[in-house]
Amino acid sequence: MSTEIALFEESFISPQVQAALPEGYTVRPLRANDYERGFLKVLEVLTEVGNQTKEQWLERFNYLKQHNHEYFTIAICNDRENRVVAAGTIFVERKFVHNNGLVGHIEDIAVDANQQGKKLGLRIIEALKYIGAKKGCYKVILDCSAKNIPFYEKCGFTQKEYEMAWYV
């Protein structure tokens, strides 16, 4: 597989979000060689990531690509430095309820610690909402900590329900 392979079609990327980004930043589907552009490093603001080898990274990337009707991971790149600076995923779940409805789940929103506060997080969410709407989801949901509630409210979300977790 060529290293410049994109996870999914460029047509799922919102032109409005691209236009709203600061100059020198690009929003696009995750690419196979974002391993070298620091994608996993960006995720470290979220939690422990691990020390995946390139081979392990490609194994996961290839799985997501084979399921790219369900998995949409996007990246914002700083073009001059050729680095990933922000990322996020929307996963499209297929339900029976709501007439075989689709629900979008937003996961793993991360902005590099040095790049926070430039509205890149907001743009990632807007871009993921665009994908959810384009796929026909009737709602898009996510889990977050209490301290991030104001951020998601600024992104147009409202608080509903509670998260439950069980760790193996």
Contacts to ligand ACO by CB under 6 A: 45-46, 106-111, 116-122, 142-144, 147-148, 150-151, 154
CB of 87 to ligand ACO, least distance (A): 9
CB of 58 to ligand ACO, least distance (A): 24
Closest CA to 8 of 75, 53, 85: 75
β-pair partners for 111: 86
Residue nearest ligand ACO, CB atom distance: 121
CB of 113 to ligand ACO, least distance (A): 8
Burial (Cβ within 10 Å: 0-12, 13-18, ≥19) of residue 135: middle
Q: Which residue, 13 or 125, is less far from ligand ACO as judged by CB? A: 125
SS3 for 5-18, per residue? Answer: CECCCHHHCCHHHH
Q: Which residue, 58 or 112, is less far from ligand ACO as judged by CB? A: 112
Q: Which residue, 58 or 127, is less far from ligand ACO as judged by CB? A: 127
CB of 40 to ligand ACO, least distance (A): 14
Q: Which residue, 58 or 155, is less far from ligand ACO as judged by CB? A: 155
CB of 1 to ligand ACO, least distance (A): 28
Helix and strand numbers (H, E) in the chain are 6, 5
Q: Which residue, 7 or 21, is less far from ligand ACO as judged by CB? A: 21
- Nearest-angstrom CA–CA distance, 166 and 168: 7
β-pair partners for 92: 104
- Nearest-angstrom CA–CA distance, 88 and 120: 11
